[in-house]
Structure 1
Amino acid sequence: MSSGDVRHFLEIDDLSTDELETVLDRAAAYKRAQQAGEDHPDLAGQTLGMIFQKPSTRTRVSFETGMTQLGGHAVFLGEDDIQLGRGEPLKDTSRTLSRYVDAVMARVFKHENIEVLAEYSSVPIVNGLTDDAHPCQTLADLLTIREQEGGFEERSGSEPSGGASNSGFDGVSVAWIGDGNNVAQSFTVGAALTDIDLTVATPEGYGIDDDVLDRARGLGADPTVTHDPVEAATDADIIYTDVWISMGQEDERDVRMNDFEGFQVCSDLLEHAPGASVMHCLPAHRGEEITDDVIESDRSVVFDQAENRLHAQKALLSWLLE
């Protein structure tokens, strides 16, 4: 999404396929640089404002640490720490912050709120999560899949400023098992951008929104939708799940636990995909959507996936601000 000459990142398909590949290449290069102990202060002297209406572990720490590693600075802005919590209109907060910082990352409830921030901002706005979308998680997911399926090695010559290259996703099949939540919706579109063969298995009534499926199909993808987790998992390269009860849904717990029976990612399900890696965006409710033995197994790439939030977001920020 753009506002004048400013690029925002509110949805994963705010990036074109080529731009997405550029960001992933840069993320891989930043990861190698960090592992080699090489400094990369590409955003020296720049400041990221971080608005949080929801609690966070990975989003806050990865963005704050990422800005430090890029030579910049991050400012945490809890809803009760700024005038937003006292009734200031979002458009006023956005226009004011634009005069102080170089970019804003916001983690809010309503997706329309991130859109208002972007409409009135003169600096890039990054969606750190809304009820409808989590595109930063999708960036990390795609980086993780590319590493698992060999694409990372193919790009070993890329530099942080490098351009797009072959995707590395050809022929990769992913099974999403569980709730068609904000993470699933962003991933569905991200899979379409990268030609990943996606099957989504949810209980009836918990599927991906029709408009999200339409966006994916508009990109040339044809995600398979099913209510059978075994069908989705069979011979998949990656099995991906998330919590059944997201923030704000706690009062639905009893109903959801009943409705999601049979959708747990467990050792029995993995027998249908003997070569699959397992992903989870965290936090995990062990014993509900995923068993402890699976998340701790050598097939789990869950913590590589969590680490990749850092590298992917650094790449996104430097790309937006360059």
Structure 2
Amino acid sequence: MMMHSTLPCLNSPGLRPDGFLSDDLSAVLELACRLKAASLAGRTGDRPLAGKNIALLRLGPGDAEMSVLHRAALDLGARVAHVRLGPPIDPGGTQFRHLSQMLGRLYDAIDCSSLTPAEVRQIEQHAGVPVYDDLEGIDHPAWVLADLMTLREHGCAIGPDARIDFLGEHAAEHSENHRFALQAMLLTTMGGT
């Protein structure tokens, strides 16, 4: 299995994935590393998101296999619901605003997959809870954080335009690091730290 990532410079001005600034991303990276260290040491009993509800907002039905984000949230104690969107609704209309407000009352955070950036912004504007733009997506900074964790663990130095290929056992390690990066992002934005 081969995985590719192009690392953007995390100190680039204006890099604000899901509201994170470059300093925030550094803190999230450190938290992800601490979460992994705790897991390796067998200290996994802490469930800081117990009682929290996370919606995975999707256009189609959920996969039969549990996603990395779903597993990451469950490991933190959150309850996860797959919410399937019905027919398209005008993002600028009152029906979409009411849907966003209702989701905000039911859930403590919402991850939007396969929605346009305008739709995600509308949900974020009206939900009143953390809203993510496809946390699991290959273009999301959580992938970059997983890349950085894997490289750090192997003592590699990288430049801002590095291209990385993870093969074999390193791909599995990267997948685990992705889970810890997602957990760190959830904890940082949902107040679980």
Partner in structure 2 of residue 213 of structure 1: none
2:158 to 162, 167, 172: 172
Structure 2 residues not aligned, in runs of 5+:
1-14, 90-94
Q: 1:13 to 1:96 in 2, by over 3 A?
A: closer
2:80 to 42, 63, 74: 74
Deviations 1:19-48 (A, max 9, x none): 111111111111122222211211111111
Q: Which runs of 5+ in 1 are unaligned?
A: 1-9, 80-84, 151-170, 174-196, 200-238, 241-277, 280-294
**Corresponding residue for 2:51?**
45
Counterpart amino acid of residue 198 in structure 1: D
Give the alignment partner of residue 198 of structure 1, picking from 161, 174, 184.
Answer: 161
The higher relative CO (CA closer than 8 Å, separation ≥ 6) is in 2
Alignment match of 1:311 (pick from 176, 180, 186)? 180
How far did 1:56 drift? 7.3
Q: How far is the alpha carbon of 1:112 from its aligned partner?
A: 1.9
How many residue pairs end up in the alignment? 170
TM-score normalised by L of structure 2: 0.74
Q: Counterpart of 2:24 in 1: which secondary structure?
A: helix
Contact 1:47 1:103 in 2 (8 A): yes
Mapping of 1:96-135 within 5 angstroms?
A: 96-128=102-134, 133-135=139-141
Aligned-partner Cα distance in 2 for 1:35–1:18: 26
Cα-Cα RMSD: 3.0
Tell me, yes or no, if the aligned pair for 2:62 and 2:82 is still in contact at 8 Å.
no
> Contact (CA 8 Å) 1:49, 1:103: kept in 2 or not?
yes
Partner of 2:150: 144
**Equivalent position to 2:24, from 19, 39, 52:** 19
Superposed CA offset, 1:253-277 (max 9, x none): xxxxxxxxxxxxxxxxxxxxxxxxx
Contact 1:103 1:125 in 2 (8 A): yes
- Aligned AA (2:158): V
CA distance in 2, matches of 1:130, 1:319: 16
Instruction: Quote the offset at 1:317 in angstroms.
Output: 0.7
CA offsets 1:246-301 (integer angstroms, 9 cap, x no match): xxxxxxxxxxxxxxxxxxxxxxxxxxxxxxxx23xxxxxxxxxxxxxxx34xxx62
Mapped contact 1:11–1:127 kept (Cα < 8 A): no
Name 1:220's counterpart in structure 2: none
Query: Does the CA contact (< 8 Å) of 2:142 and 2:182 recur in 1?
Result: yes
Summarize the alignment of residues 210-289 of structure 1 with structure 2, pairs less than 5 Å apart.
239-240=163-164, 278-279=165-166
Does the 8 A contact of 1:108 with 1:130 survive in 2? no
Residue 320 of structure 1: aligned partner:
189
| Aligned residues of 1:111 and 1:132 also touching (Cα < 8 A) | no
Give the TM-score normalised by the residue count of structure 1: 0.47
Secondary structure of the 1:22 match is: helix
> Could you say if the C-alpha distance between residues 13 and 50 of structure 1 is closer, same or farther in structure 2, counting changes exceeding 3 Å?
closer
Q: Percent identity?
A: 24
Quick one: which amino acid aligns to residue 307 of structure 1? E
